[in-house]
Structure 1
């Protein structure tokens, strides 16, 4: 998306369509009145800043109509003797439309959304690389016989950094294992995510994942799924004491 320019208006005027419009995708294009299937006016026509729908489903806002330029009511000196739109007038028109249609604010929103999307993508990549770094450092520590001091010396890192990366790698491995783990309850076997969404589950996904770490593989999980509140991890999966 960009702000409307005098060149945009001149190119529109040199064409044949009735309307210069801005689509919801942020693109300037043109359309005929005949293509409008929905407008604020009963006769199906449209004027500046009207919101319209075209016959191909495109939703757009009208920027300016050809008739507005040609009739000369807006800018009497808009057209030269040759019938072409004067560049200086086109620039003035563009400045007015940008202000009246709120395009400056729309452009800022568009740019913020684009920047946010780029930041989120970069953040995801940074997190992926951070996880990979931790796994590689943890593997190198194992190569050094588990000696973090030796690994830190050879890598040129502080031992505290190596320690944090090793713990990060172990945590990621445990989380991946638990997330992919299946629990069996009520004669049904489902993933932890699926059980957390089940109406019979009385705890959050995070709590259920934490509890599942204390459950033996294949052990019935009904207790940890249906018991609200705090559970002592040491008692999970153990039979109740005799009455």
Structure 2
């Protein structure tokens, strides 16, 4: 990835941090965008001069414009955008408050759209690039109690397909990644029962998702508008995973 300049949202910890680390290891420059300032600053400092932290609220257009400008000033046009920022709220459709639904979809889906919308001119200045939306197995199937999250993750999948069509002429590829249960701060309170019935009956590691993202960016040059699944086989037909959530 030498010569590639990436923005990774939700990059201060979990999957985003693993992606940022792997990109730096592979020679890219990385802007880590997150609302978690101390964690993001610490991560960037540990990664050295080819990484920097920028405070980013993905739901705010002004915040996005500032981060893209900062990334360009530091390292040049942005050639890779990883839309990873996301939150989760467990509630039934009947019981969830409208404001809660809006908050989840604003961060997970609108934030990714806003990132694309803001970064496209920079991707063009870079002569093309790659965008990866970090969706979920919840973007491939339904989960009871996760209406807002599931809706947002299906939306990320559709957004990737549309963007792939619109940006192909600019040399920009757009794909979505669909992790299953990954051991991150978001899943810290979930028990081992959630992976019962999977062919690979364990939680995945953030580094395993990062490896897939690296493959898409650096190797999968004939792939756009498609889904890459990292789920331990969770979507092969197991009913236990769906029942537990």
TM category (shorter chain) comes to under 0.3
**TM-score normalised over the length of structure 1:** 0.19
- Identify the structure with bigger relative contact order (alpha carbons < 8 Å, sequence gap 6+): 2
Looking at CA atoms only, which structure, 1 or 2, has the larger radius of gyration?
1
